[in-house]
Amino acid sequence: MTAKRDTSRDGFKNKLETAVLTGFKPIWNFIQSNPGLARKVNKTLTNNAILKIPTRPYPFSTMSPYTSWDSLIDRTYSGLQLPPLDWKPLTNENYIGINLTSAEKFEKNLPPIQDLEILYHKIGETKYSPKSSLIFPYFVQWFTDSFLRTDRHDPLRNSSNHHIDMCNVYGLNPKITHLLRSYEGGKLKSQILNGEEYPLFYYDEDGKPKEEFRGLPHLYTDESTPKAETFPPEKKQKLFAMGLEVERANVQIGYVMLNVLSLREHNRVCDLLTKNYPTWDDERLFQTARNIVMAEFLKIVLEDYINHITPYHFQFFTDPLAFTDEKWYRHNWMSVEFSLVYRWHSMLPDTFIYNGQKLPMPASMWNNDMIINKGLGAIFEESCSQPAAQLSLFNTPEFLIPTEIASIRMGREAKLRSYNDYRELCKYPRITNFNQISSDEKVQKELQRLYGHVDNIELYVGLYAEDLRQNSALPPLVGRLIGIDAFSQAFTNPLLAESVFNPETFSPIGWEEIQNTKTLSQVVHRNIPQGKKYRVSFYREDWQPV
């Protein structure tokens, strides 16, 4: 079933870049061992990742097929990295030098959406990622959910704050934050269960929403969304009150694990601050602890997480003050494209292991007993001891196939241009043959049957049809688009700005905590019963680079 992929359209510069970054290990080790040189290289590589496409502000959003004042400032519409299909150029038929696929022809030739379901159904066994543990997709779903917030009623709109602001922990707006705060010692409301700290339950003992959480949103969008009210009592009773919609914040065990971890870290930092700054009131303790925890998680994203994604020898590190003069340092704006490159549904396997037992993945949804009974450290370790599935076509669990189809529909409603147009935007040559996208004959054949011509492939399908890059967690175009936005919208967090990222903002003791945080594992170990040691890593235990 696996043929060779024709790499002639990978682009010479891209191949060279990969060869340099994945070869010459001793040279990279030398660079890494020299702090001054490492800083320069870190900056150069980060800029190189971002500057593949023109920088924000984007001239287009989902508001209109031309630029208006409102479209330039109203971020409830999502950004667009290329003009939409209904854009009618006034000056040049091409766009920033890109020979765009004919919009009329492209839209006319799109296959019916339901025909594309076949691309997601498994053929036989689940393909597993050779590199990533299950905590990797858990983490991704959780952290992207704080800034990729497409409106479920209107895929052209979003409810994002456009920052990694940990709104899943702290609430999407100050009104929700208010409901979650204990107003004592800066802490978030919490309870102790089996000797460990958790958020409060949303429902009282009679199954009614607690009065103190009135105003916490629900996710009642359409018939297909399950309503917390209707859950079986044993699940419903254990739903936590956290920053986002009750159904969303409790959706899956990975999501809950990371929320619980963040809450514990917040309350732990509060204790630390109280000890060091005994005169501070609750408000200052809360606000400063929040800033510290956000900066810690930004570091985890920019180091632990990013370095897992890339196949490079060089390990990126967080040096935010290196980027003050960069043209990409612009007001954040989440785009439709960024939302689509972060839909890693196929990375969730059909089954997972809990307490050594194989369970169907849906059993991990709205099932907080899993964490309460096992404890945070142990469930992190067990999640890290099993592989994620591989990000690719023909590998999505059945229960997520409707979500794949919804993603394709979203791309069409947003009038996104073709996969080949986005390749060109990202400095990859346009492919001319289906055997240039994937080595998998099944993928090649099905794409050919469905789309007829490579220019007709739509972005969402093309993104995940590509072979993974060697030693990378991601296929090339997904990796490139994520590199652009992950760096250019994380380093622009105001907490990392030149006048803000300092001990005065975070307090000297908080600053030290931030400096001492590089990995998710560190934060887990600060927040579990003392003396316990668990393996927490985005990597599979048995991973070996090729």
Q: Which chain residues interact with a copy of itself by CB under 8 A? A: 54-55, 57-59, 64, 66-73, 89-92, 96, 161, 163, 165, 170, 174, 277, 283-284, 287-288, 290-291, 294, 324-327, 329-331, 494-495, 497-500, 502-505, 507-508
Spatial distance between the Cα atoms of 500 and 498, rounded to a whole number of angstroms: 6
- Beta-bridged to residue 79, according to DSSP, are 61, 335
Residue whose CB is less far from a copy of itself, 85 or 447: 85
Q: How far is the CB of 316 from a copy of itself (least distance, A)?
A: 22
Q: How far is the CB of 321 from a copy of itself (least distance, A)?
A: 10
Q: In 10 A of CB 158, how many CB atoms?
A: 24
Q: Are 164 and 146 within 8 A, CB to CB?
A: yes
Residue whose CB is less far from a copy of itself, 170 or 352: 170
Residue whose CB is less far from a copy of itself, 44 or 191: 44
Q: Are 293 and 268 within 8 A, CB to CB?
A: no
Q: How far is the CB of 165 from a copy of itself (least distance, A)?
A: 7
Task: Please give the torsion angle defined by the CA atoms of residues 386, 195, 199 and 283, in that order, rounded to the nearest 10 degrees.
Answer: -120
Q: How far is the CB of 443 from a copy of itself (least distance, A)?
A: 34
* 76 CB-contact burial (10 Å; exposed 0-12 / middle 13-18 / buried 19+): middle
For the record, the structure tokens of 486 come out as: 């992950």
Residue whose CB is less far from a copy of itself, 58 or 305: 58
Residue whose CB is less far from a copy of itself, 65 or 402: 65
Cα of first residue to Cα of last residue in the chain, in angstroms, is: 21
For the record, the structure tokens of 85 come out as: 């299909």
Q: Are 488 and 480 within 8 A, CB to CB?
A: no
Q: How far is the CB of 534 from a copy of itself (least distance, A)?
A: 30
Element (H, E) at 403: helix 401-413
Q: How far is the CB of 53 from a copy of itself (least distance, A)?
A: 10
Comparing CA positions, the residue from 125, 397, 134 lying closest to residue 255 is: 134
Comparing CA positions, the residue from 262, 246, 274 lying closest to residue 197 is: 262
Element (H, E) at 50: helix 35-50
Q: How far is the CB of 17 from a copy of itself (least distance, A)?
A: 23
